[in-house]
Structure 1
Amino acid sequence: MKNWDSLDESGVCTTEKDCEDAHRVCRALDIPFHQLSYVKEYWHDVFSNLLREYEKGRTPNPDILCNKHIKFNHFHKYAINTLGADAMATGHYARTSQEDEEVFQQTHATPSTTLFRDRFEIRNPVRLHKGADLLKDQTFFLSQISQNALRQTMFPLAGLTKDFVKKIAAEAGFHHVLKKKESMGICFIGERNFENFILEYLEPKPGHFVSIEDGSIMGHHKGWFTLTLGQRARIGGQKDPWFVVDKDIGTGNVFVAPTTNHPALFRDTIRTDRFHWVTMDPPPELAKTQMLECHFRFIHQMPLICCALQRRRVSWQWKDNPVGAQPIHSAEGSGAVDSSRTAQGTNP
């Protein structure tokens, strides 16, 4: 897939290099090679959404959006409907609750959008599970994909570690792939200087770094959208590190606190918008008791935190909350978060 149409900051078109690497593997394995362009779809479904969220002071995850809208939507439909494939295989370190043989027995059906979807379905839902290599686990980035796509997806690396995969690649003679660096940065855009990159698309909106302790001005920034909660604020002239606690998009002020363990950096409750349930919507326990004990993370590889998910029925007079808003309560406070980050939850 080609999803981005520009050079990286060193003037190299990494997409073309990735394409050539994949083509070489296909030639060696004697399998067909297809190249698709989703540049327009990526811009409209992922990147434009990204910019809107940044302007609101939030921090969306482009990798999750790309999987949801591009790879497990447009690409998946092309593989099944146009190529006539039985399933789609990806290199994610993850696994599902079904065996590979079961994947090929699935028949493609457009999911119903009616209120009573799945009411008469007998098929067991497919669950998303962590792979064997817990250090490379990528289920966080798959947390928004649909049940229909997951049902027709295979993860060949499910039971393998990264080191073992490299050993297989070396034995197969794919040394050009082994030399590639780990993929970093924004999905399909690559590793960039984030501040410089985002300021190519959003107008600078300078503001102050303000101390959460005494309200004093500590320094200046080029726009609240270049910063996210919990990150270190690069403030000129400051010897000790300061970290982002909150952002006021009305005034442009970014509030900061000293040290990584400042009380203002921690939360034990957050409020989210509607959840995306990979398996069923919603789990019976939550529907019945309005409460669900689960585990939670909002950053890839962050340790899972025990928490309680409370489903709140928001009445018409609570105009400051979205319908169906749900708070997550944690016994142990987690780092500074904003509600736009996609959270990954697991029901034990």
Structure 2
Amino acid sequence: MFKKVAVGISGGVDSSIAALLLKRKGFNVQGVFMQNWDIRDEKGVCSSEEDFKDAQFVCNKLGIKLNHVNFVKQYWNEVFCDLIKEYESGNTPNPDILCNRNIKFNYFYKYAIGELGCDAIATGHYANSSFGRFLEKYESNKAVKLLLAKDSKKDQTFFLCQVRQEMLRKTMFPLGNLTKLEVKQLAVDNDLERIASKPESMGICFIGSRNFQDFIKEYIPDKSGDFVDINTGKVVGKHEGIHKWTLGQRTRISGLPVAYFVGRKDVENNIIYVASGTDHSLLHSDLFFTGEPHWIHSEPSELQCNYILECNFKFQHTENWKRCQICKIENGLVVKLDEEMRALTNGQYAVFSKNGECLGSAKIKTTPISRFSYDYDVNKYKEKSETEIITEQI
């Protein structure tokens, strides 16, 4: 049924092998290189130029056409501007999730279907679909599930947790049943060793090798404020901007006998409250709240009936899945973890899975510090009960 497929070619090994497997399956493959960023770093380098050369090398080897499409404006407006607003609000965003939702599984999809006349798209993500890796189980009247990849260490459904059903229904994940080692070996066996030997991209793509704090000051001006010990209420140092710090991060304040870690941000007063020691109780919690959830297939039946949903949770790609219980409240969710986690962070996505399926996600909006009320008159904090916290949220 699906004959013509557009595969997003980034110049990396994963998308290259996705295209190779599609061609072997007999599809009419079109490569698409998406340019999402065009600003050079401090060394005058724009990484997308080198990536495009690698993408062209791959397509020449595979004998497929490479289309170059510019989504710089869309990325700036719908990913990067959101990132800046989040940092200014004291949150820590995840641009990779927004890029997938707003660019790859929106503009790329529409370009492939509408302008190239393709039947479906494909990416090099390590993920699976209930319709099969090559949509061999596709049913036009049936919703599709996003399933975890075979390689649990490489599984990338975390980054796809905001993808909409419309686009997912016509998306192929050729690498879903392969490991990273198998993918690299396929590249070597098919004269793509140059691509297989490239270092894997890590972190936020447009920052590259630059220090984050040096990068972000180009877009958000420095604003000096105080580091305040959350136990004593005393100023222990100075920072140059709340946007440069995230919950749980070590501050490295000079001249102090103990290590301090970010425990809370007071955006209105430009204060960062810090806790001494990496295991301070303020940095750990087993309860948090989210905004409105996005369910990939459908809202789980337990939540539809106002029951508690038992499933798995993570808020960082590299973390292991943790058991949790979820219930609905107005405009969001309450999430109770089976065990405490460190540095649950506002602005990050809480991603949920169950029985090998990525269910969806919701943005974390209330982090562990909300479990404590602080009395600055006596320089002490006390923990609230779960009933008090949930009542306040409702």
Relative to the length of structure 1, the TM-score reads 0.88
**Match of residue 131, structure 2, among 93, 98, 114:** 98
* Local SS of the residue matching 1:46: helix
Residue 292 of structure 1 is matched in structure 2 by 309
Aligned mates of 1:128, 1:184 — CA distance in 2: 24
Structure 1 counterpart of 2:231? 213
Residues 1:181 and 1:8: Cα distance change in structure 2 (over 3 Å): farther
Aligned-partner Cα distance in 2 for 1:9–1:170? 34
Q: Which runs of 5+ in 2 are unaligned?
A: 1-33, 356-394
Q: Distance in 1 between matches of 2:136 and 2:116?
A: 17
Tell me if structure 1 keeps the 8 A contact 2:275–2:282: yes
Q: For residues 17 and 104 of structure 1, do their structure 2 counterparts lie closer, same or farther at Cα, with a shift above 3 Å needed?
A: farther
The SS at the match of 2:210 is: coil
Q: Any residues of structure 2 matched to 1:21-40 within 5 Å, and which?
A: 21-40=54-73
Tell whether 2:97 aligns with 1:64: yes
Cα 1:83–1:325 shift into 2, 3 Å: same
**Match for residue 224 of structure 1 among 237, 242, 250:** 242
The residue that corresponds to 2:360 in the other structure is: none
For structure 1, list consecutive stretches of 5 or more residues without a partner in the other structure. Answer: 108-122, 315-323
Within 1, Cα distance between the matches of 2:151 and 2:311? 22
Structure 2 CA distance for partners of 1:188 and 1:147, relative to 1, 3 Å: farther
CA distance change for structure 1 residues 137 and 238 in 2, over 3 Å: closer, same or farther? farther
Measure the CA separation in 1 of the matches of 2:206 and 2:154.
19
**CA shift at 1:296, angstroms?**
0.9
SS in 1 for 2:305: helix
Contact 1:86–1:104, Cα closer than 8 Å, also in 2 = no
C-alpha deviation, 1:341, in angstroms: 0.7
Alignment partner, residue 243 of structure 1 = 261
Task: Report the aligned-residue RMSD.
Answer: 1.7
Q: CA deviation at 1:256?
A: 1.3
Counterpart-to-counterpart distance in 1, 2:126 and 2:320: 17
Distance 1:14 1:103 in 2: 36
Partner of 2:29: none
What is the aligned counterpart of 1:186 among 184, 204, 207?
A: 204
Query: Equivalent residue of 2:69, what SS?
Result: coil
- Point out the structure with the larger strand share: 2
Which residue does 2:389 correspond to in 1?
none
Q: Indicate if the aligned counterparts of 1:89 and 1:153 stay in contact, CA closer than 8 A.
A: yes
The CA deviation at 1:193 is 1.0
Q: In structure 1, which of residues 179, 197, 201 is the aligned counterpart of residue 219 of structure 2?
A: 201
What corresponds to 1:145 in structure 2?
163
CA contact (8 A) 1:50 1:62 kept: yes
1-structure distance, mates of 2:279, 2:41: 36
The structural deviation recorded for 1:105 is 5.1
Q: Does 1:78 align with 2:111?
A: yes
Question: 2:249 & 2:263 partners in 1: Cα distance?
Answer: 9
Give the aligned partner of residue 321 of structure 2. 304
State how far apart, in whole Å, the 1-side matches of 2:124 and 2:134 are: 18
1:106 Cα deviation after fit: 6.2
- Provide the rounded CA distance (Å) in 1 between the counterparts of 2:57 and 2:211: 30
Closer, same or farther: CA 16–101 of 1 in aligned 2, 3 Å: closer
Residue 9 to residue 34, structure 1, CA distance change in 2 (3 Å): same
Change (3 A) 1:58 1:273: same
Alpha-carbon distance, 1:87 to partner: 1.4
Contact 2:187 2:193 in 1 (8 A): yes
Query: Within 5 A, what are the aligned runs for 1:243-322?
Result: 243-280=261-298, 282-312=299-329, 314=330
Further displaced range: 159-168 or 41-50: 159-168
Distance 1:141 1:265, change over 3 A: same
- State the match for 1:51 in structure 2: 84
User: Partner residue of 1:88?
Assistant: 121
Alignment of 1:140-179 (within 5 A): 140-179=158-197
Name the amino acid aligned to 2:234: S
Q: How many residues align?
A: 322
- The Cα shift of 1:45 comes to 0.3
TM alignment of 1:323-338, pairs within 5 A: 324-338=331-345
- Amino acid across the alignment from 1:163: L
> Using the alignment, how far apart are the partners of 1:161 and 1:10 within structure 2?
35
Q: Tell me, in whole angstroms, the C-alpha distance in 2 between the residues paired with 1:240 and 1:36.
A: 51
Does residue 339 of the first structure (1) align with residue 346 of the second (2)? yes
Listed one character per residue, the Cα deviations across residues 173-212 of structure 1 (whole Å, up to 9, x for unaligned) are 1122123211122144534211111110011111111112
| SS in structure 2 at match of 1:35 | strand
Residues 162 and 100 (structure 1), Cα distance of their counterparts in 2 relative to 1, 3 Å cut:
closer
Residue 383 of structure 2 is matched in structure 1 by none
Distance 1:341 1:37 in 2: 27
**Given that residues 294 and 346 in structure 1 are in contact (C-alpha distance below 8 angstroms), is that contact kept between their aligned partners in structure 2?**
yes
Question: Contact 1:103 / 1:152 at 8 angstroms: preserved in 2?
Answer: no
60-69 vs 183-192, greater mean Cα deviation: 183-192
In the alignment, residue 250 of structure 1 is paired with which amino acid? E
Cα deviations by residue, 1:86-128 (Å, 9 ceiling, x for unpaired) = 2111111111112245369566xxxxxxxxxxxxxxx332111
Structure 1 distance, partners of 2:159, 2:121, is 17
C-alpha separation in 1, matches of 2:278 and 2:158 = 24
